């Protein structure tokens, strides 16, 4: 079993693919997770970020957002708060505190962060791996 940190930019594609790049790669990752091949670590803010994206970007109504909230609550991701000092260090490199939390968590766990956010991929090249380039380990 592999450990990964998944960014909201990846998890959001598990629930909506229309107009999203790399949706097929995100769905393949979701299938690996469903088969028990991956242990997913996330900062506690993941669900809030995904709900926010669905509300703002896709303009989902309250009923659909509530269903999404229920589905997010069913995911058995391991929620881990990253060290604030590490979040601050990554934020100083130009990331939002939210994005920095994912990078700091991956760094702390010694596992890759899978992201589909170009800014995160540039700022955290040593930690973050593009969703389109991720391949499972042995």
Rounded to whole angstroms, the Cα distance separating 83 from 105 reads 8
All structural domains of the chain with their residue ranges: 2-133
Rounded to whole angstroms, the Cα distance separating 13 from 104 reads 22
**Which CATH number is associated with domain 2-133?**
3.40.50.1010
What is the full per-residue pLDDT of the chain (138 aa) written as tens digits? Answer: 799 999 999 999 999 878 789 999 999 999 999 999 999 999 999 999 999 999 998 999 999 999 999 999 999 999 999 999 999 999 999 999 999 999 999 999 999 999 999 999 999 999 999 999 877 655
pTM of the model: 0.92
Any idea which residue has 């962060």 for tokens?
113
């Amino acid at each position: 079993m592999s450990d990964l940190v998944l960014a909201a930019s990846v998890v959001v594609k598990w629930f909506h693919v229309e107009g999203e790049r790399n949706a097929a790669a995100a769905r393949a990752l979701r299938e690996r997770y469903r088969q028990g091949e991956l242990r997913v670590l996330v900062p506690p803010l993941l669900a809030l970020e995904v709900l926010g994206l669905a509300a703002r970007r896709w303009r989902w109504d309250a009923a659909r957002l509530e269903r999404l909230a229920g589905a997010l609550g069913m995911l058995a991701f391991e929620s881990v708060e990253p060290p604030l000092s590490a979040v601050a260090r990554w934020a100083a490199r130009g990331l939002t505190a939210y994005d920095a939390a994912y990078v700091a968590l991956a760094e702390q766990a010694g596992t890759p962060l899978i992201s589909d956010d170009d800014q995160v991929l540039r700022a955290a090249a040593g930690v973050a791996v593009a969703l389109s380039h991720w391949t499972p380990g042995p």
